[in-house]
Amino acid sequence: MFFDLGGTLFSYGSLREVFGRALAGVAEEFALDVSADDVRHAYQVSVMTVLSEYAGRPYYRHRDLFAEAHARMLERLGVAGAAGAQGPVAAGPDALGLAEVTPRDGVRDVLERLRAAGLHLAIVSNIDDDQFETIWKALGLDDCFDTITTSEAAGSCKPDGRIFEVARAKAGVAPEAVVFVGDSLQHDVAGANAAGMRSVWLSSEPTAPGSPHVPDHVIGDLRELPELLLG
């Protein structure tokens, strides 16, 4: 069983407060007459814009993606000469609040039950290695997993097929023997489906209207996994 990391084993909501403080500091740093909500909205729009531009690339470093988003945000807020600005990314994972992430409720129990059933558990994540190391230490789940594959190590970002092949080679199994669990239709479900794996979408919504990526299963909580897979 392969798991995505961010948004799956932990919620990005656990980073909201820390990252919110980092964004709030932008207005002060550049003496901008804008609210914290204005900064947050500019950042959200910038991230979505850059994500759409990077989407077709088989590989990219996330430090580059978020640095570009930070620069775009500053441009939206009217900061002159923002091109090349790095933002919190340049200060490292701690500045992004990554050391404060916590697992979703019940994650360890779920993983221990799956391991007890004899399943090979793996992490397959779109993430840079330094960011992964900080998050992984905070989560404290290392003893629950057999293998780990980051996009930086694989030189491939989901939904590109190479990262799935690298992870599968570590596990030594055929594609049809793999169940992939993730929260992203575009990255996790689309990539796993294309790789011949079964996909499980973690979502608060039962369906995603208009999406061409259809998961084999949909769950609203990771604690549903043992019953789904083990009966």
The string of pLDDT tens digits covering residues 103-158 is 999 999 999 999 999 999 999 999 999 999 999 999 999 999 999 999 999 999 99
The pLDDT, as a whole number, for residue 166 is 98
Q: Do residues 141 and 109 touch, judged by C-beta distance below 8 A?
A: no
At residue 85, the pLDDT reads 65
Q: In what order do the strands lie in the sheet with 198-202?
A: 147-150, 122-125, 2-3, 179-182, 198-202, 217-219
Burial class (CB in 10 A: 0-12, 13-18, 19+), 28: exposed
Cα of 165 vs its chain's centroid, Å: 19
Q: Are residues 128 and 25 in the same domain?
A: no
152 and 196 housed in the same domain: yes
Residues 93 and 118 in one domain: no
Q: What are the residues whose beta carbons fall under 8 Å from the beta carbon of 78, sequence distance 6 or more? A: 32
Using DSSP, state whether 81 is helix, strand or coil: coil
Task: Indicate if 82 and 107 belong to the same structural domain.
Answer: no
Q: Which pLDDT belongs to residue 194?
A: 98
For the chain, how many structural domains are there in total?
Answer: 2
pLDDT at 222: 97
Residue that terminates a domain, selected from 48, 69, 98: 98
The CA distance from 57 to 32, in Å, is 34
Residue corresponding to tokens 């088989």: 58
100's tokens: 């404060």
Assess whether 106 and 218 both reside in one domain: yes
Q: Do 29 and 132 share a domain, yes or no? A: no
Helix (H) or strand (E) holding 198: strand 198-202
CB 23 within 8 A of CB 36: yes
Side chain identity at 194, as an amino acid letter? A
Q: 115 lies in which domain range?
A: 2-11+100-230
Q: Looking at the structure, tell me whether residues 82 and 138 fall in a common domain.
A: no
Q: Which residue has the tokens 């097929």?
A: 161
- The per-residue pLDDT for 58 is 98
Note whether 107 and 207 are same-domain residues: yes
181 forms beta bridges with 3, 200
Q: What is the pLDDT along the chain (231 residues), one digit of tens a residue?
A: 999 999 999 998 877 777 777 777 788 888 889 888 898 899 899 999 999 999 889 999 998 998 898 889 999 998 877 666 666 655 555 656 677 789 999 999 999 999 999 999 999 999 999 999 999 999 999 999 999 999 999 999 999 999 999 999 999 999 999 999 999 999 999 999 999 999 999 998 887 778 899 999 999 999 999 999 987
- 105 with 218, same domain: the answer is yes
Q: Which residues touch 9 (CB under 8 Å, ≥6 apart)?
A: 3, 103, 104, 107, 123, 139, 141, 222
Q: Do 57 and 156 sit in the same domain of this protein?
A: no
Examine the domain organization and report whether 112 and 144 are in the same domain.
Answer: yes
- The pLDDT assigned to 87 comes to 66
- Beta-carbon count within 10 A of 219 CB: 17
End residue of a domain, out of 44, 69, 98: 98
Three-class DSSP category at 78: coil
DSSP 130: H
DSSP letter at 2? Answer: E
The amino acid sitting at 62 is H
> What pLDDT does residue 86 have?
65
Same domain, 86 and 144: no
Beta bridge partners, 218, equal 201
* Listed residues 64, 82, 98: the one ending a domain: 98
CATH number at residue 168: 3.40.50.1000
